Structure 1
Amino acid sequence: MTNKIELSWKGQMLFESVAPEGSVMIDAAEEVGGQGKGLRPKAMMLTSLAGCSAMDVASLLKKMRAEVDDFKIEVVANLTEEHPKYYDKVQVIYRFYGTDFKKDKIEKAINLSVERYCGVMEMFRKFADVTTEIIYIEQ
């Protein structure tokens, strides 16, 4: 299977990435000629990582009947100092909100995403040390 996007220049450092499913704007920091009208490329990588795992977890929690009120994923990544700068350490923090958590099922869903289903996570492991953390917030 082949995936394809098309990137179009919109002036200065602004670009639009169009995929069959939709589009997203990409822009650079203002100090290098950007206008703040889109995500930066490296932030999009972190977004892809969180989004990939989030979709796995949401689907698995539903199948396991372990729904939560809400959940959020925070990704904290360390960028190397030298060019080309890349993420060498990445922490994925899963925050679950609700009451009476089915922690065994939640942890199983995360482990399945991290170890089996999330292709973006697998790609990140090729260049970064990836760790995960789970936080439960009773509401």
Structure 2
Amino acid sequence: MMSNSMSAKVQWLDGMKFVATSGTGHSVVMDGNREGHAPTPMEMVLMAAGSCSSVDVVSILEKTRQQFVRCEVELEGKRADSVPAVFTDIHMHFKVYGKGVAEQHVERAVKLSADKYCSVSIMLGASVNVTHSFEVIEA
């Protein structure tokens, strides 16, 4: 049975670079400088929301046997002008490529992710205006 707790460790490397290691042993480097050598923590939040939603959308589309070959999500985050520069708005635009992919299945998958499954996006939605859109591209 899986536990509801998670753990992580963040260690300073040099400058404003840090390595974060998940409790499952996976590491990622982050950089506090916007022009740094790795994503910033806020970029990681945006990427986490997109990854979490994408897992749901792909999983739901696979269950509905849609013939898709690619799924990507483009994210745009707007931040407050003052400190703390939190996200005020996040927009996710899904692009699903495939043969005869039904728009209603993509719409349903995006909606289910947004409203029910994506813990990152739903958690952010408590304080951020999170919006979604999609397009289906014949490939």
Q: What TM-score do you get using the length of structure 2 for normalisation?
A: 0.91
Deviation at 1:10, TM superposition (A): 0.6
Between the aligned partners of 2:125 and 2:103, the Cα distance in structure 1 is 25
Deviation at 1:67, TM superposition (A): 3.3
What count of residue pairs does the alignment treat as equivalent? Answer: 135
Q: Between the two proteins, what is the percent identity of the paired residues? A: 26
Counterpart for residue 29 of structure 1: 33
- C-alpha spacing 1:12/1:138, structure 2 compared with 1 (3 Å): same
* Residue type at the aligned position of 1:98: G
More strand by share: 2
- C-alpha spacing 1:82/1:115, structure 2 compared with 1 (3 Å): same
Between the aligned partners of 2:32 and 2:94, the Cα distance in structure 1 is 28
Deviations 1:68-112 (A, max 9, x none): 111110110111101111110111100111231122222111111
Gaps of 5+ in 1: none
Between the aligned partners of 2:25 and 2:69, the Cα distance in structure 1 is 28
CA RMSD of aligned residues (A): 1.4
* Residue type at the aligned position of 2:56: D
Deviation at 1:128, TM superposition (A): 0.8
CA contact (8 A) 1:66 1:106 kept: no
Counterpart for residue 14 of structure 1: 17
Q: Decide which moves more: 20-29 or 73-82.
A: 20-29
